[in-house]
Amino acid sequence: QVQLVESGGGLVQAGGSLRLSCAASGRAFSTYAMGWFRQAPGKEREFVAAISWSGGTTYYSDSVKGRFIISRDNAKNTAYLQMNSLKPEDTAVYYCAADRRTLPVYSSMSRPGEYDYWGQGTQVTVSS
């Protein structure tokens, strides 16, 4: 079992940066693929980024590619999402998720239904 807690959200001006953290419990964190998703009011949950259990494979949505960086530190049981050059359309609640069995390919890691565990979410608001 894994429990996830996101932090680092807040209010930032367009063009600014934020770093989200996802702290995980459980001894098996290093065996889980990790993903970041976001959901704006009235919209469906959207894939943002994902990273394999070893950190060797990463994926990004087209909307954030080149601006966001996903990483993990298995020794600290923590995953991160560095968000740069933020835009107002990035405003959403951001969720981290963990999956113990997802194949490390884009078609699997980009699907919310593939993930076993979810955090509570953290609000990111980008002002113009």
The per-residue pLDDT for 80 is 97
Is the predicted pLDDT of residue 26 greater than 90, yes or no? no
Question: What average pLDDT does this structure show over 37-46?
Answer: 96
Is the predicted pLDDT of residue 47 greater than 80, yes or no? yes
The per-residue pLDDT for 49 is 98
Is the predicted pLDDT of residue 54 greater than 90, yes or no? no
Residue with tokens 């990483």: 71
Q: What is the mean pLDDT of the chain?
A: 94
Is the predicted pLDDT of residue 1 greater than 80, yes or no? no
Q: Which of 102, 104, 98 is nearest to 56 (CA)?
A: 104
The per-residue pLDDT for 31 is 84
The per-residue pLDDT for 16 is 98
Query: Rounded CA gap, 73 and 94, in Å?
Result: 19
pLDDT digits 0-9 by tens, 55-79:
889 999 999 999 999 999 988 999 9
User: For the residues of 92-125, what is the DSSP string, one character each?
Assistant: EEEEEEEESS--SSHHHHT-GGG-SEE---EEEE
